[in-house]
Amino acid sequence: MSGKMLFYILKRALLALLTIFIVITVTFFVMHAVPGNPFAGEKAISAEAQAALEAKFGLDKPLPEQYVDYLADIIFRFDFGPSMKLRGRQVIDVIMDGMKTSAVLGLIAAAGAALTGVILGAVAALRRNSILDKFIMVLTTAFVSMPSFITGTFLLLIFSVWLGWVPANGTTTSGLILPVITLALYPMAYITRLTRSSMLDVLGQDYIRTARAKGVPGWKIIFGHALKNSLIPVITYFGPMLAFIVTGSLVVEQIFAVPGVGRAFVSSITNRDYTMILGTTIFLATLIVIMNLVSDLLYKVVDPRIEFD
């Protein structure tokens, strides 16, 4: 690893920290500006109970003080605090519990999507305008435009209710097959299209023509030059996509009753579970920042001409 690259990573890491700090700050003040509180329900609790709960979770302090306390807890103790709604549970435990399922689901779906997407995309590009190309394009257009609640519901209806091949709840391993497919379809289709257009672009480049003219075998041109160089846009897309996909999808979790972390993101906001909102936001932001950094570093692997600055 060159010194230049180390410097680059260090610089990006510092920028990442700054980004996360800004995310925390904005989220903290915005969520407190929204009306409502974590202890609200259809049946109101007594004023004394409300005061006791606010004191328990430090919500009785002035907002700037709460903010400083929160930052201090994270920086010095790596403590994200207790959930205000799920009494007795720590934010970090709730996130990690959900991540056990979401990460496995997400990684399988992302890997499957990348692999299938790149292969289909390459095939479509190499067989441009053929029936196969058109078939792949029609299919991917459909998957890109169909929201996951439609594809998910269809899959559930066909394979679980009608055929009875897999259970309709994600509490068992076989119940995770449909959620993985549902999660993978959109990125798979998107990657196929990215790969196809990028590959078509590369195939028209001079150096490919030169290679052909020099008599380099076709497979070597495709795998050694064309495919590798056409992956840059895919990598750009893959990083953040991976971050999103492993942090769960509420829609997929709802449709298939999957115990993932996606639900925590949404319910924390509905519940005004302040610590949970911050915890999940920081978690997602950190993952995205890391994934972006990783994809930037991967550019260099794929295309050594890229310089870090």
Distance, in Å, from the CA atom of 79 to the CA atom of 85, rounded to the nearest integer, reads 17
298 part of the interface to another protein, by CB under 8 A: no
Q: Which two tokens stand for residue 36?
A: 């409502």
Distance, in Å, from the CA atom of 205 to the CA atom of 203, rounded to the nearest integer, reads 6
The least distance separating another protein from the CB of residue 223, rounded to whole angstroms, comes to 43
Residue choice 14, 17, 44, 138 for contact with another protein (CB under 8 A): 44
Residue choice 37, 66, 197, 286 for contact with another protein (CB under 8 A): 37
The residue (of 41 and 204) whose beta carbon lies closer to another protein is 41
What is the 3-state secondary structure of 221-284? HHHHHHHHHCCHHHHHHHHHHHHHHHCCCHHHHHHHCCCCCHHHHHHHHHCCCHHHHHHHHHHH
62 part of the interface to another protein, by CB under 8 A: no
Residue choice 18, 26, 34, 158 for contact with another protein (CB under 8 A): 34
Is residue 222 within 8 A of residue 126, CB to CB? The reply is yes
The residue (of 230 and 271) whose beta carbon lies closer to another protein is 271
35 part of the interface to another protein, by CB under 8 A: yes
The residue (of 10 and 157) whose beta carbon lies closer to another protein is 157
Distance, in Å, from the CA atom of 262 to the CA atom of 260, rounded to the nearest integer, reads 6
Please choose, out of 13-21, 104-112, 154-162, 191-199, the segment that lies near another protein by the rule CB under 8 A: 154-162
- Choose among 84, 103, 83, 105: nearest CA to 94: 83
The least distance separating another protein from the CB of residue 260, rounded to whole angstroms, comes to 7
- Please name the residues in contact with 38: beta carbons below 8 A apart, sequence gap of 6 or more: 53, 57, 84, 85, 271, 272, 273, 274
Distance separating the N- and C-terminal Cα atoms of the chain: 15
Show contacts of 7-15: CB within 8 Å, 24+ apart: 7/308, 8/308, 8/309, 9/293, 9/297, 12/293, 12/296, 13/293
Total Cβ atoms within 10 A of residue 266: 15
Distance, in Å, from the CA atom of 253 to the CA atom of 166, rounded to the nearest integer, reads 16
87 part of the interface to another protein, by CB under 8 A: yes
The residue (of 242 and 277) whose beta carbon lies closer to another protein is 277
Please choose, out of 30-38, 229-237, 275-283, 294-302, the segment that lies near another protein by the rule CB under 8 A: 30-38
The residue (of 43 and 305) whose beta carbon lies closer to another protein is 43
Please choose, out of 207-215, 221-229, 266-274, 301-309, the segment that lies near another protein by the rule CB under 8 A: 266-274
Q: Hey, what amino acid is at 256?
A: F
271 part of the interface to another protein, by CB under 8 A: yes
The residue (of 38 and 239) whose beta carbon lies closer to another protein is 38
Is residue 277 within 8 A of residue 268, CB to CB? The reply is yes
The least distance separating another protein from the CB of residue 144, rounded to whole angstroms, comes to 24
Please choose, out of 5-13, 20-28, 73-81, 153-161, the segment that lies near another protein by the rule CB under 8 A: 153-161
The least distance separating another protein from the CB of residue 56, rounded to whole angstroms, comes to 7
Residue choice 27, 66, 153, 286 for contact with another protein (CB under 8 A): 153
Measured CA to CA in angstroms, residue 134 lies from 54, 123, 200, 202, 233 at distances of 61, 11, 15, 20, 22
Which positions touch another protein (CB under 8 A)? 34-37, 39-53, 56, 82, 85-90, 94, 97-98, 101, 153, 156-157, 160-161, 164, 167-171, 254-257, 259-260, 263, 270-272
